């Protein structure tokens, strides 16, 4: 465990050093991320000029969903930025170099690059979430505890999805669109999933668990989820993780080391 932490820290410090190499690019990328956040927030503000509630949630509750989405999404991108570069390793055959090293190939493929730009955004997102929490009445300690637990659970689901995507890349060499489809779909969680009508709502809760990832933490915080639902959510996430790791093992058996 300590060995893996040291490897991760080494790879992370390298990615931080590279951030300082192209400072202008980093500043521009960061500005882009901030702009994207502000634009959608402006859209929510516009929407609430015409309505008091959206799917039964007031303004502060809806922005809490949006801020939580950003927290989970940014953390995921910060941790798994390497996935976006994974195709290069496969098509160039350089994945061989990862396989022969005495570090788990899945660990290396997922955590090889930590995005410092997303890390920078985490602090403000947490501050915004705390600010909004103070604006919502009747928040309980149990609610906050469930919220934190379910955010970790969302990261577990995100990990599973990233494993599935890189496994697909090993088999097909396709990754760019697959990862962007994942990101587009989880983008549905920027707002409470209750807003969507059936069958979309069931689809994004049970088939593609966007709802579990993005909406459940806030719902638990607001006291809208039962204990049994929270418990079964963890169970479902662990099954998804188990399946994704097995798919990765299957994909490795199909790896042909083309171009190497």
Comparison of 101 and 183: residue with beta carbon closer to other proteins:
183
Q: Nearest 5 degrees, angle CA 225-CA 231-CA 237?
A: 110
Radius of gyration of the chain (CA): 19
Q: How many CA atoms lie within 13 A of 159 on its CB side?
A: 19
Comparison of 2 and 21: residue with beta carbon closer to other proteins:
21
> Smallest gap, in angstroms, from Cβ of residue 84 to other proteins?
12
**Can you read off the two tokens belonging to residue 9?**
């820290």
C-alpha–C-alpha distance, residues 154 and 76, integer Å: 9
Comparison of 177 and 253: residue with beta carbon closer to other proteins:
177
138 binds other proteins (CB under 8 A): no
Q: Which of 138, 197, 228, 235 binds other proteins (CB under 8 A)?
A: 197
Q: Which of 40, 41, 60, 255 binds other proteins (CB under 8 A)?
A: 40
**Per this entry, what is the length of the chain?**
260
Comparison of 7 and 175: residue with beta carbon closer to other proteins:
175
Cβ atoms of residues 117 and 19 within 8 Å? yes
Stretch that binds other proteins, among 4-12, 195-203, 221-229, 238-246 (CB under 8 A): 195-203
Q: How many CA atoms lie within 13 A of 147 on its CB side?
A: 22
Binding mask 53-82 toward other proteins (x if CB under 8 A, else -) reads: -xx---------------------------
Cβ atoms of residues 175 and 166 within 8 Å? yes
Stretch that binds other proteins, among 3-11, 43-51, 220-228, 231-239 (CB under 8 A): 43-51
Q: Which of 129, 191, 214, 240 binds other proteins (CB under 8 A)?
A: 191
Cβ atoms of residues 119 and 78 within 8 Å? yes
Considering only CA atoms, which of 221, 1, 213, 29 is closest in space to residue 119? 29
Q: Which of 178, 213, 220, 225 binds other proteins (CB under 8 A)?
A: 178
Stretch that binds other proteins, among 64-72, 136-144, 155-163, 189-197 (CB under 8 A): 189-197
1 binds other proteins (CB under 8 A): no
- Residue 100 makes CB contacts below 8 A (sequence gap 6+) with none
Looking up tokens 């190497």, which residue turns up?
260
Let me know if 257 is exposed, middle or buried by CB neighbors in 10 A (0-12, 13-18, 19+).
exposed
18 binds other proteins (CB under 8 A): no
C-alpha–C-alpha distance, residues 234 and 4, integer Å: 25
184 binds other proteins (CB under 8 A): yes
31 binds other proteins (CB under 8 A): yes
Under the rule (CB under 8 A), what is the footprint of other proteins? 22, 24-26, 28-29, 31-32, 35-36, 39-40, 43, 46-47, 50-51, 54-55, 172, 174, 176-178, 180-181, 184-185, 187-188, 191, 195-197, 200
């Amino acid at each position: 465990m300590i060995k893996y932490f040291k490897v991760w820290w080494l790879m992370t410090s390298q990615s931080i050093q590279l951030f300082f190499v192209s400072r202008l690019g980093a500043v521009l990328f960061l500005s882009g991320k901030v702009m994207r956040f502000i634009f959608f927030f402006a859209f929510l503000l516009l929407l609430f000029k015409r309505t008091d509630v959206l799917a039964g949630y007031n303004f502060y509750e809806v922005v809490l969903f949006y801020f939580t989405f950003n927290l989970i999404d940014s953390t995921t991108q910060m941790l798994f930025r390497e996935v976006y570069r994974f195709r290069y390793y496969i098509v160039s055959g350089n994945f061989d170099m990862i396989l022969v090293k005495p570090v788990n190939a899945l660990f290396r493929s997922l955590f090889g690059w930590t995005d410092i730009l997303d890390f920078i955004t985490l602090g403000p997102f947490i501050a915004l979430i705390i600010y909004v929490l103070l604006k919502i009445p009747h928040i309980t300690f149990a609610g906050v505890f469930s919220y934190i637990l379910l955010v970790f659970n969302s990261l577990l689901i995100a990990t599973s999805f990233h494993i599935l995507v890189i496994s697909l890349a090993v088999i097909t060499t396709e990754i760019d669109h697959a990862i962007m489809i994942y990101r587009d779909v989880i983008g549905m969680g920027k707002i409470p999933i209750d807003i969507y009508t059936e069958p979309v709502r069931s689809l994004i809760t049970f088939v593609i668990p966007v709802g579990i990832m993005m909406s459940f933490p806030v719902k638990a915080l607001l006291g809208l989820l039962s204990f049994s639902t929270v418990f079964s959510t963890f169970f479902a996430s662990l099954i998804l993780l188990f399946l994704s790791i097995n798919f990765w093992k299957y994909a490795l058996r199909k790896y042909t080391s083309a171009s190497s």
